[in-house]
Structure 1
Amino acid sequence: MGFAVLCAVVLVGTLLQVTIGFGLGMITAPVLALVEPALVPTVNLVLACCVTAAVLVQDRASLDVRGAGLALAGRVPGVVAGALLVAFLPARPLALLMVVTVVAGVAVTVYGFRPRATRGAVVVAGAMSGMMATTTSIGGPPMAMVWARFAGPRLRSTMGAFFLVGSAMSLGALTFAGSVQAADLWYALLLVPAAAVGFVLARPIGRRLDVPRTRMAAMALSLTGAALLAVQQFT
């Protein structure tokens, strides 16, 4: 039952990621933490590599190479800090950190804070994203905030390049810290077909979606998962 729920959540998260630019991490991470906490953040990072690689291939012509490079330069210290947190923090604080990350991401999206994409802002956002993604697998909010003025294909391709390389960096750091197990990688591979279905469905379904309402629905799902995870931690 748990695996079937995860497949459905990964499918929906991937569909939202491809169509509106976020959803995979914010929706799947809390549910994964509820079903099998030991699989966070490795499984989501593996799925992020697969999905963002497909998005990058699809929208590669619109890639902002300079912007992605600046963000990745900032991501390096963030990844190191995140790997240290995962190595030394118990499971409960990490779960609560995930709840806070989801709520903060939704708040930023709702209030529409959009700083200028200066060199310093992109580097700082990359560092924040690296730490958040390595600890909770939710690294999208800082980058979505700083790149909010990008057009659809440019946003998707630049985010795709950043998260493809960045997720690989996070996985490498977690492996070095001893936080990645073979069972985690195997479980992630079992969920890849669900992500593939979500990616295939994204284009035909995306044309029919009302983007503002879909964003609100995605945030509602994210908050629901975070709330359930918080309740689990305090009961």
Structure 2
Amino acid sequence: MEVLIEWYIFAVFILSSFLQTTTGFGYAIITAPLLALVLDPKDTVMITMLTGLIIRLMMLKTTHHDGSFKAISPFLITSILGAMLGAYCLRVINVDLLKLFMGGILLIFTFLLWKNYHVTIRHHTFAKAIAGGLSGFLATTTSLNGPPIILYYLNAKAEEHARVLRGNLTRYFLLINLVSIILSYIAGTLKLQELWVILLFSIPALAIGFYLGGKLFHRINAEIFKKIALGMVVVSSVVLIFKAVS
């Protein structure tokens, strides 16, 4: 059984890094619920943040000409504040409650992403502050920091080239990942001595997904793949909620 779980985790890292490389987002929204089915939820949050940092460092090398740190700076201040609040909450939150929270948040954001939900944004600075704060809070409580930023870009109808958008998203998630890891360590929720084996185990899988994603970036129909991936998230989120209440 342990061998099957190890191969399952290996496959999850390949799938999520492949999605991240081809679309610029989606790493945590795939990794977190699928790993939480076989790992402790709090360990899942930490390992998702750590491996997310690794895959985004890999991507930064290939996207350094696309996007800029200046473009994502409006999100960062409120993201840090939200991450600080989230790091504190993770210290006191119940494990089953975390499963419910993670599953519920995933279902809501997955539905909105699936439907390409749009609202009219009149005050972009305020909207970026809200999206950044929510993203930071979710980063340190569930590692699911992507959906608020993606929803902002969808609703802002940003006229960015796919490569530029992917580059900007890579930069944002890289920075918020790094901040979240530091805050989690300070808060005492990051225990590397308990996670280093999985972390080492993840590196070749992340490399495989990164390589395949880079090769297929211009060929794959990202919309179809996103819907398949989000469908998997819906199933795993329902299972998470069921396990929390059973």
Which of the numbers 140, 143, 149 marks the counterpart of 2:149? 143
Distance (Å, rounded) in 1 between the aligned partners of 2:221 and 2:163: 17
Identity of counterpart residues, as a percentage? Answer: 23
- What's the offset of the Cα at 1:78? 0.6
Q: Counterpart of 2:114?
A: 110
**Gaps spanning 5+ residues in structure 2: where?**
none
**Letter paired with 2:147:** P
Distance (Å, rounded) in 2 between the aligned partners of 1:65 and 1:10: 26
**Gaps spanning 5+ residues in structure 1: where?**
none
- Closer/same/farther in 2, CA of residues 64 and 123 from structure 1, 3 Å limit: farther
Which of the numbers 171, 177, 183 marks the counterpart of 1:161? 171
Distance (Å, rounded) in 1 between the aligned partners of 2:60 and 2:153: 16
Asked if the contact 2:27–2:52 (Cα under 8 Å) also holds between the matched residues in 1, the reply is yes
Q: Does residue 177 of structure 1 match 2:187? A: yes
Q: Aligned to 1:61, what secondary structure does the other structure show? A: coil
Asked if the contact 2:25–2:169 (Cα under 8 Å) also holds between the matched residues in 1, the reply is no
**After alignment, is 118-127 or 129-138 more displaced?**
118-127
- What's the offset of the Cα at 1:22? 2.6
Distance (Å, rounded) in 2 between the aligned partners of 1:185 and 1:78: 27
Q: Does residue 86 of structure 1 match 2:90? A: yes
Q: Counterpart of 1:130?
A: 136
Which of the numbers 216, 225, 230 marks the counterpart of 1:205? 216
Q: Counterpart of 2:235?
A: 224
Asked if the contact 1:129–1:140 (Cα under 8 Å) also holds between the matched residues in 2, the reply is yes
- What's the offset of the Cα at 1:136? 0.6
Asked if the contact 2:13–2:202 (Cα under 8 Å) also holds between the matched residues in 1, the reply is yes
Which of the numbers 74, 78, 86 marks the counterpart of 1:74? 78
Q: Counterpart of 2:205?
A: 194
Asked if the contact 2:87–2:140 (Cα under 8 Å) also holds between the matched residues in 1, the reply is yes
Within-5 A mapping of 1:14-25: 14-25=17-28
CA RMSD between the two structures: 1.6
Asked if the contact 1:16–1:23 (Cα under 8 Å) also holds between the matched residues in 2, the reply is yes
User: TM-score, normalization: structure 1?
Assistant: 0.93
- What's the offset of the Cα at 1:178? 0.8
Q: Counterpart of 1:43?
A: 47
Distance (Å, rounded) in 2 between the aligned partners of 1:55 and 1:122: 24
Please list every run of at least 4 consecutive aligned residues from structure 1 whose deviation after the TM superposition is greater than 6 angstroms: none
Number of aligned residues:
235
Distance (Å, rounded) in 1 between the aligned partners of 2:72 and 2:61: 15
Distance (Å, rounded) in 1 between the aligned partners of 2:35 and 2:15: 14
Q: Counterpart of 1:2?
A: 5
